């Protein structure tokens, strides 16, 4: 369902924005061609307009392509279950179904965090089991990711993965708390929009 919504959104963006814009570029190019010998300054202005429109279209295409790389929580969980299985780590999920109704932006960010957390578990944890606990209340969406691995002694403050997770979460009014006792636990909270 998420994939179909994304395809529809991309098709609509392409039709509504780029289709009109390419028509405008074509008209301005034809006008500039007619003006080049009669009114050089106006022809130059048309060419500058074409360059501006083209740059704006490039930005839009980048945004659309970025949208293609986004995943739902369910998609991320399926992918990471396979990745964890390859290295003999069992993925357990509790209450995941509730995340289907979470806002798409929240799902996209949490899907990226699920991927990053799974990568770290595979690389460093020596775990046999990782558990993803989903929950929500009136104020927050929550996701706790835990493993039964070796834990850590100290996390570098400049760790790129953790910095990326924190940054992504701050974009959606979320936080992450990391602790290690027996294994590692990531506690993620995202405040619901008012």
Q: Which residues contact 83 (CB under 8 A, 6 or more apart)?
A: 118, 119, 122
Q: Which CATH architecture has domain 2-68?
A: Up-down Bundle (1.20)
**What was the pLDDT predicted at 52?**
86
Q: Which of 66-70, 124-128, 184-188 has the lowest mean pLDDT?
A: 66-70
Any idea which fold 73-191 has? Answer: Heat Shock Protein 90 (3.30.565)
CA torsion sign, 156 to 157 to 161 to 166? Answer: positive
- pLDDT tens, position by position, 109-153: 999 999 999 998 998 899 999 999 999 999 999 999 999 999 876
Residues of the chain with CATH 1.20.5.1930: 2-68
**What was the pLDDT predicted at 80?**
94
Residue 6, pLDDT > 60, answer no
- pLDDT tens, position by position, 158-169: 555 778 888 889
Residues of the chain with CATH 3.30.565.10: 73-191
């Amino acid at each position: 369902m998420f994939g179909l919504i994304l395809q529809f959104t991309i098709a609509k963006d392409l039709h509504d924005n780029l289709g009109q814009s390419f028509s405008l570029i074509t008209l301005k190019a034809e006008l500039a061609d007619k003006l080049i010998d009669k009114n050089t300054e106006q022809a130059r202005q048309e060419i500058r307009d074409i360059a501006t429109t083209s740059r704006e279209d490039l930005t839009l295409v980048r945004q659309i392509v970025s949208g293609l790389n986004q995943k739902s929580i369910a998609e991320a969980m399926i992918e990471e279950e396979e990745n964890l299985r390859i290295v003999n780590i069992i993925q357990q999920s509790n209450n995941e179904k509730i995340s289907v109704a979470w806002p798409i932006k929240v799902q996209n960010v949490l899907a990226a965090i699920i991927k990053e957390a799974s990568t770290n578990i595979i690389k460093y944890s020596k775990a046999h089991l990782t558990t993803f606990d989903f929950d929500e209340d009136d104020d927050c969406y929550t996701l706790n990711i835990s493993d039964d691995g070796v834990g850590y002694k100290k996390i570098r403050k400049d760790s790129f993965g953790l910095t990326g997770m924190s940054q992504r979460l701050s974009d959606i009014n979320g936080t992450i708390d990391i602790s290690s006792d027996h294994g590692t636990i990531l506690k993620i909270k995202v405040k619901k929009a008012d």
